[in-house]
Amino acid sequence: MKHSVIYPRIRTLLVAVLMGASALLLSNCGGGSGGTGKADPETPKSGQQKSNACTLSLFQFKASSNPGIATNPSATIAKIQNMNLVLITVPETADLTKLVPTCGVSANATVKMGGNDIVSGVTAVDFTNDVDLVVTAENGTSTNKYIVLVRKGDAEMDAQVYNIMAKYNIPGISVATTKNEALAYAAGYGYANKDSSPKVRVTPTMLFRLASVSKFQCSLCILTLCEEGLLSPDDYVFAPAGANGEGSKEGVLQSMYPGAHAKGVDQIKVRHLLTHTSGWQYATTDGVDPIFTGDGRFYGKTLKQRVEYMVNTPTSYTPGVSYSYYNLGYCVLGQIVEKVTGGTYEAYLKQVEAKAGVTDVWMGKSSKGERRANEVCYYAQQSTDAYQNDMNVVGACGAVINSAVSLMQVVCAMDYGTVVPDILSKETLDQMYTNYTSSGKGGYGFGWRIGHNTLPWASYHGGNINGTATIIARGTNNVNGVLLCNSRSYIDDFDTAIYVALSNMMQRTNAIY
């Protein structure tokens, strides 16, 4: 089983690489296009075999042919999840019902759109919905089908996403940015469900699995309980009463995991789970994550059974001394929420996020058939299974589903701003955003990574599981952003690429919105 939770150091050189990739994708790789819908016709010589080439190399809306378009937007053309997609953004002033495309195709090939012959640069086409574009070779024996997806928006912003989709085989992405606690940009790209008929396109209010972006929401729940006087970051988690000195309190989950525990376990506090300083680390279980694992010790086990295994496993170091990212800790925090509230984690999460006006937040399910009506489908890569994880086990560490727009609402309610009331007090937010695990940038707070090494982010978090990749950031300039993918690439620089793409979109948001 292949699982990954990766948060690499950003390589700033990737910006130039992505720009170069974009230029290649937008270039005209075939012949030019004339007014006939064919690439410059060439009469075959006597006995010369006609071509079977049928490639679309350029798709463009020229300003000279399209009122309401001041530039000449060109499409990103790419094979994504076995679909030939043509992704293009036009200005808000464009009329989608009658846009005139200019196509570059293989020599002497012909083009049909929506089943009708077109004349490149002349024929107007309705692009309100997806449009099938079929290129037929000169010899008539071969064809290539493309799907044209046109959307209104900011072409420079959208180019960041198109590059990610094309290079990393991502069928659907949702993004949103805010500036000064107001929604600045929100968009959906590609497909939420590529297999349905008709295919379902992504919108910015659709639900995505958040993977580890779920952790900041778990922290929000824990700290809300602390403000309600029902919990403290310094409460012990598993300890029997008196285990940490005369009069020391019983751990919050002592009744759930009673009896004697392994060395170090009784010293674990709530704050240690929040900051990944519990003393447990992957090396404790021979390099295996008890949550995302195919190890026989955990396969088919419930979350409670996995935690029972761990409380009988000595910590690798004294709790609070050293940082080691550990998913199980946040699953335990979810159990603490349920213990303190007497209800489900989902119910309390919904109660907390309702303070930010968000109601459409849920715990995701394991199978495709169980997904919610407005939830995207997930598409795995490299022979992995997007529906392999038991989301009941994953729980608070990575199973939350939410939309890009809703996530921005929540972040705006916990960013020290004055336009949107914060859910937590300034003093509690200070605790959340304190760097507990290192000096300078690059540490961890309560559910957030603090101060990126190179990007202008005050806090951020990424998330990856099979079929899902996410990144959310709170900027240093009152600009926030989120990018959600319904597939996860295993190309080495993928995580860096989505970080850079979101950062570029946030910088543009700051500049023009």
Torsion-angle region of 82 (φ positive above 0: left; ψ -120 to 50: alpha; else: beta):
left
Reported in sequence order, the residue ranges of 91-128 that DSSP labels E, i.e. its strands, are 102-105, 110-113, 116-117
pLDDT of residue 34: 35
Domains 31-41+51-153 and 211-512 share a fold: no
Domain 31-41+51-153 has CATH 3.30.910.20: no
Q: Which CATH number fits domain 211-512: 3.40.710.10, 3.40.630.40, 3.90.25.10, 3.40.50.720?
A: 3.40.710.10
* Cis, peptide link before residue 198, omega less than 30° from 0: yes
- Classify 143 as helix, strand or coil: strand
Within 13 Å of residue 362, how many CA atoms lie on the same side as its CB? 15
Alpha helix locations (H) across 313-383? 327-341, 345-353
Q: Could you give the angle at the alpha carbon of 129 between the alpha carbons of 88 and 18, nearest 5°?
A: 20
Which H, E and C letters describe 28-75, residue by residue?
A: CCCCCECCCCCECCCCCCCCCCCCCCCCEEEEECCHHHCCCCCCCCEC
pLDDT of residue 281: 86
pLDDT of residue 285: 55
Residue 74 to residue 144: CA distance in whole angstroms: 19
pLDDT of residue 43: 47
> For residue 79, what are its two tokens?
């094979």
pLDDT of residue 13: 35
Give pLDDT < 70 ranges for the chain. 1-47, 283-288, 294, 439-441
- Give the domain ranges of the chain: 31-41+51-153, 211-512
Residue 56 to residue 24: CA distance in whole angstroms: 14
pLDDT of residue 47: 56
Tell which residue, 129, 117, 127, 119, has the closest CA to residue 69.
127
pLDDT of residue 297: 81
> For residue 217, what are its two tokens?
């929401």
Residue 478 to residue 314: CA distance in whole angstroms: 43
Residue 74 to residue 23: CA distance in whole angstroms: 10
Residue 92 to residue 176: CA distance in whole angstroms: 17
